[in-house]
Structure formats: structure tokens, C-alpha cells
């Protein structure tokens, strides 16, 4: 990026230095203040940087003919407004796919004034569109016309760039499956597998050391998600194990993998397990993911994928015992998938809705020929389980 200094150490002098070095163009833009017009144009500016080479928007700098104009002193800070949160909200509601720039408020040396520095990386999730996904902007850097609508050929190239980074998720999944083969016992019992992380992973967003500390110190339901003795250091992250039934893997791209062997009652002619044994592993994975992104990473658009594997020989019961459960479920395929797209910052507030959606997707093909199961029933069951486990 254009700024090399740690963001929490930026000063007004640093802002002036940047203004003297760079005119407006492909990677730099200045705005005098964060007024109504700037707020309306901000999604277009941010997405145009992301669709091109990345760039820097500095608010609090007046520019004429593409050059910063003295005095460079910032703009009046609004009372009771968190400016980085304002930028985040503008991007969250108006750019698709979700894109979150790094926003830093820098105190001016003029009392009551601030600068707002918005940094955008070239995005592997491009093309990012605005206005209900109808317009895709790119930087062209010609005089005052700093961004323009992309043509179809460029949009196709951006989509190919997006496809190339999706292969990183497949590589992570393959590495996680190797860990399962190495550390968990082979069994015919059903398994729940969760893979979640950035929708378009492309660069390291957390160090291995921080991942290790996070899994070592994070608590879940009164204990750690995985035992300290079960933590394994890996070249691309950290693996955690609990007993002979749970394994998790976090990598530096922000992916989380969790697999759990479902506890079953194998006695009798109908081996069975409870629905709660499917929901709890997903709940644990989402809680760990939420805390990871809240505490040490950043806001991100997350793709959550769940698979129920090897469940064709076992019956899933709604309650605690097949004799007392009005509902039971059994798949006819080896893998039952589900997926959900969510913003990391909403995992806590929307936990019941996310779990309901994933659980309903899993149960729907397991209840063939029966239309009695409703999403509202699943939501009620999920709500009870979440309340009983007090995850947050």
C-alpha cells in the first residue's frame, strides 16, 4: 500500500507528506470533507479501487485539478459520530460482494479537525458492484475522471481473477481432510464437517502465532474448544484436537475447519443420534469463528459450508430418544450439504437464523415424502439449543 507507517501512528504531518508526494490518479483520491455528496459517492470510489490496483482515499484534503491544495488541515469532526463506522456502514450496504476497506481516523494538529484515511486493496473478489449490483467501476486516472464503468471484457477478466483465488479454499479443505485421516479414528458413525472463511481468500490476514494463542486461550462452554495438549503447529496455521472425536484447523487466510464424529446409540436395529448432535458442532464452529474475526482479524464476508457425512445407516431423531420423538430423519445419500453467506460481524446477532438455515438445509432431503417439517419448527428447536448453551 501507499502508506508504510503503522496506522495508529499516523499524524497530520504524515498526511501532508502523502499529499505532497501523490496527485490524484489511479491510486489516490482526495475529498475536502465527509459531506452528503462524498457519502453517496464513497461506494463507487472504494469499489473502483478494489476492482483496479487498490488505492487511498483521504478525506480532509482539498484538491484542485488533481493536486492537493494548502492548507491541508483536515475537516471538522462531527459530534458523536464514529467516522470509521460510518464508512463501514456505507460500504456494507452498497457494495456487492461485501468489501471492507481499512479506515483510520487521524487527529489533525488543528483543534477540532481530523483526517479520514480509507485504504483499499486490489480485491480478488472483484468485480465489486454498486447500485443493486448494476454498476461496476474501475479506475482510469485521467484528470478529474478518476473512475469509469467497466466494459464486459474487463469484467470477465476480473471474474477469472476471482476464480483463481477460490482454489485456495479447495487447498485448505484438502489439507484439513488429511489431518482428519491422520488424527481421528476411522468409524462408520456420522460426521459433521464445517468449513468457513472469507468468501474470496487471497492473502494472509492473521499470523500463525496469533492463531495458536487464540486457540490456546479462547474458552467455549467453560473450556477450550480443543485441549492445549491437542494443539498442533502447522506451516499454514494451527490444528486442535479434543479426544478422539473433534478436530479443528485454522489457517492464516482466515479459514476455519471443524469436524466432529457424532455420538450415536448403536444398540438395536435402528442406530440413532439426536438432532442436537448435528447442531452443537456447527454452533461451536460459528462461535470460534466469530471470536476470531472480532478479536484479531477484521470484518469479512464469510462463506459457511456444512456437510453431514456417512449418515445413511443412522437415524436422526428430533428429541432425546427415538421412542419419544415425533420426528426422525435419514438421508439416502452419503453427503448432505448446506451453505450460508454471512458477514462476520453479524454472527452473534444472527446466530439463530444462520443455524436455522443450515439445519433446515440438512434436514430437508432427509425427510423425503413428508412436507410436515417447517423452517419455523427448526427455528424453535435451534433457539432452545442456543439458549441452553449460552454461547456468547
Give the three-class secondary structure for 304: strand
pLDDT of residue 26: 83
Query: CA-CA distance, 341 to 300, in Å (whole number)?
Result: 11
Query: CA-CA distance, 102 to 7, in Å (whole number)?
Result: 9
Does 359 score more than 70 pLDDT? yes
Q: What residue spans define the domains of the chain? A: 7-150, 166-389
Say if CB 369 and CB 260 are below 8 A apart.
Answer: no
Give the H/E segment covering residue 234: strand 232-234
Backbone angles phi, psi at 55, to 5 degrees: 175, -170
Task: Report, in angstroms and rounded to the nearest whole number, the Rg of the chain calculated over CA atoms.
Answer: 25
Q: Which cell numbers hold the place of 187?
A: 468409524
Strands 28-31 and 55-59: parallel
Of 256, 255, 253, 259, residue with least CA distance to 241: 259
Query: CA-CA distance, 344 to 7, in Å (whole number)?
Result: 22
Query: CA-CA distance, 94 to 116, in Å (whole number)?
Result: 19
Q: What percent of the chain has pLDDT over 90?
A: 52
pLDDT of residue 147: 63
Backbone angles phi, psi at 378, to 5 degrees: -65, -40
Give the three-class secondary structure for 61: coil
Choice among 55-59, 163-167, 342-346 with the minimum mean pLDDT: 163-167
Buried/exposed 49-71: b ≥16 CB within 10 Å, e otherwise: bbbbebbbbbbbbbbeebebeee
Spell out the alpha helix ranges (H) of the chain.
12-21, 36-51, 83-94, 152-183, 208-217, 276-295, 351-363, 375-389
Mean pLDDT of 252-276: 87
pLDDT of residue 173: 92
- Per-residue CA distances from 14 to 33, 109, 118, 120 (Å): 18, 11, 14, 18
CATH of domain 7-150: 3.30.950.30
- Our CA angle for 63, 64, 67, nearest 5°, is 65
> Mean pLDDT score of the chain, rounded to an integer?
87
Of 353, 385, 355, 360, residue with least CA distance to 375: 360
Q: What is the pLDDT of residues 32-75, one digit of tens each?
A: 999 999 999 999 999 999 988 888 999 999 999 889 999 999 99
Q: DSSP character for 265? A: B
Mean pLDDT of 215-228: 81
pLDDT of residue 258: 97
Query: CA-CA distance, 24 to 27, in Å (whole number)?
Result: 7
Instruction: Decide which of 215 and 155 is more confident.
Output: 215
Instruction: Decide which of 168 and 310 is more confident.
Output: 310
Mean pLDDT of 6-35: 90
Q: What is the pLDDT of residues 229-240, one digit of tens each?
A: 999 999 999 999
pLDDT of residue 16: 94
Q: Which cell numbers hold the place of 205?
A: 490476514
Does 392 score more than 70 pLDDT? no
Of 45, 48, 116, 51, residue with least CA distance to 86: 116
pLDDT of residue 143: 41
Q: What is the pLDDT of residues 99-149, one digit of tens each?
A: 889 899 999 999 999 999 999 988 878 889 887 767 888 887 644 455 676
Query: CA-CA distance, 130 to 141, in Å (whole number)?
Result: 20
Give the three-class secondary structure for 166: helix
Q: What is the pLDDT of residues 150-162, one digit of tens each?
A: 777 777 777 777 7
Q: What is the pLDDT of residues 266-322, one digit of tens each?
A: 766 678 999 999 999 999 999 999 999 888 877 777 899 999 999 998 989 888 777
Choice among 202-211, 236-245, 284-293 with the minimum mean pLDDT: 202-211
Residue 164: pLDDT band by 50, 70, 90 thresholds? confident
pLDDT of residue 329: 87
pLDDT of residue 302: 87
Mean pLDDT of 339-355: 90
Amino acid at each position: 500500500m501507499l502508506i508504510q507507517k503503522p496506522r495508529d501512528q499516523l499524524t497530520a504531518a504524515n498526511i501532508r507528506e502523502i499529499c505532497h508526494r501523490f496527485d490524484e490518479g489511479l491510486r489516490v483520491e482526495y475529498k475536502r470533507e465527509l459531506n452528503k455528496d462524498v457519502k453517496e459517492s464513497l461506494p463507487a470510489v472504494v469499489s473502483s479501487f478494489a476492482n483496479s490496483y487498490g488505492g487511498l482515499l483521504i478525506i480532509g484534503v482539498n484538491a484542485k485539478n488533481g493536486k492537493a491544495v494548502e492548507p491541508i488541515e483536515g475537516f471538522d469532526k462531527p459530534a458523536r459520530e464514529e467516522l470509521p463506522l460510518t464508512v463501514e456502514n456505507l460500504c456494507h450496504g452498497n457494495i456487492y460482494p461485501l468489501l471492507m476497506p481499512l479506515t483510520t481516523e487521524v487527529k489533525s494538529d488543528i483543534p477540532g479537525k481530523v483526517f479520514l484515511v480509507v485504504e483499499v486493496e486490489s480485491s480478488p473478489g472483484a468485480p465489486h458492484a454498486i447500485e443493486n449490483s448494476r454498476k461496476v467501476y474501475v479506475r482510469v486516472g485521467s484528470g478529474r475522471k478518476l473512475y469509469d464503468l467497466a466494459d464486459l471484457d474487463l469484467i470477465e477478466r476480473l471474474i477469472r481473477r476471482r476464480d483463481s483465488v477460490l482454489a485456495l479454499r479447495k487447498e485448505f479443505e484438502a489439507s484439513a481432510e488429511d489431518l482428519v485421516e491422520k488424527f481421528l479414528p476411522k468409524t462408520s458413525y456420522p460426521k459433521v464437517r464445517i468449513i468457513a472463511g472469507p468468501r474470496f481468500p487471497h492473502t494472509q490476514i492473521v499470523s500463525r502465532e496469533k492463531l495458536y494463542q487464540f486457540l490456546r486461550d479462547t474458552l467455549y462452554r467453560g473450556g477450550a474448544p480443543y485441549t492445549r495438549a491437542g494443539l498442533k503447529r502447522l506451516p499454514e496455521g494451527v490444528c486442535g484436537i479434543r479426544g478422539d472425536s473433534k478436530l479443528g484447523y485454522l489457517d492464516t487466510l482466515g479459514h476455519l475447519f471443524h469436524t466432529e464424529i457424532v455420538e450415536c446409540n448403536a444398540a438395536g436395529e435402528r442406530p440413532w443420534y439426536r438432532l442436537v448432535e448435528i447442531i452443537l458442532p456447527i454452533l461451536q464452529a460459528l462461535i470460534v469463528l466469530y471470536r476470531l474475526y472480532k478479536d484479531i482479524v477484521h470484518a469479512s464476508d464469510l462463506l459457511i459450508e456444512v456437510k453431514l457425512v456417512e449418515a445413511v445407516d443412522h437415524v436422526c431423531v428430533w428429541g432425546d430418544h427415538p421412542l419419544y420423538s415425533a420426528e426422525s430423519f435419514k438421508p439416502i445419500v452419503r453427503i448432505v450439504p448446506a451453505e450460508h453467506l454471512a458477514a462476520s460481524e453479524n454472527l452473534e446477532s444472527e446466530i439463530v437464523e444462520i443455524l436455522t438455515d443450515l439445519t433446515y438445509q440438512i434436514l430437508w432431503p432427509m425427510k423425503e415424502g413428508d412436507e410436515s417439517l417447517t423452517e419455523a419448527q427448526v427455528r424453535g428447536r435451534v433457539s432452545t439449543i442456543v439458549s441452553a448453551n449460552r454461547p456468547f
